[in-house]
Structure 1
Amino acid sequence: MADSGEQLKRFKEAARELECDESEAAFEDKLRRIAKVKPGPEPKAGNDEAPE
């Protein structure tokens, strides 16, 4: 099992390479974009089969 400190270090480096933004404003912007998306149609009632 890898050392959790080393794993955290690799995670942070990957986030930097991907140019992740940790600001609250960026988070709020992304959340607003996600929240605007309407969910798809609900499955029809009475269909007891599991989805494939």
Structure 2
Amino acid sequence: MFGLFKKKTEKEKLQEAYKKLLSEAHKLSHSNRTAADKMMAEAEEIAKKIEKL
């Protein structure tokens, strides 16, 4: 309950975006491989930002 109003850090926001992109890329990989590859590239850019933090 005490964490209810806690603000998310930049790292937590990036990690959520990374997980979301990976799951969407996995779903797209079955139907549209080029779009999935683009999403994977975006996810890798986010992963680099996370490592810098």
TM-score range, shorter chain: 0.3 to 0.5
Superposition TM-score, scaled by structure 2 size: 0.37
Give the structure with higher Rg (CA): 1
Structure with larger RCO (C-alpha < 8 A, sep 6+) = 2
TM-score, normalised with respect to structure 1 = 0.37
Higher helix share: 2
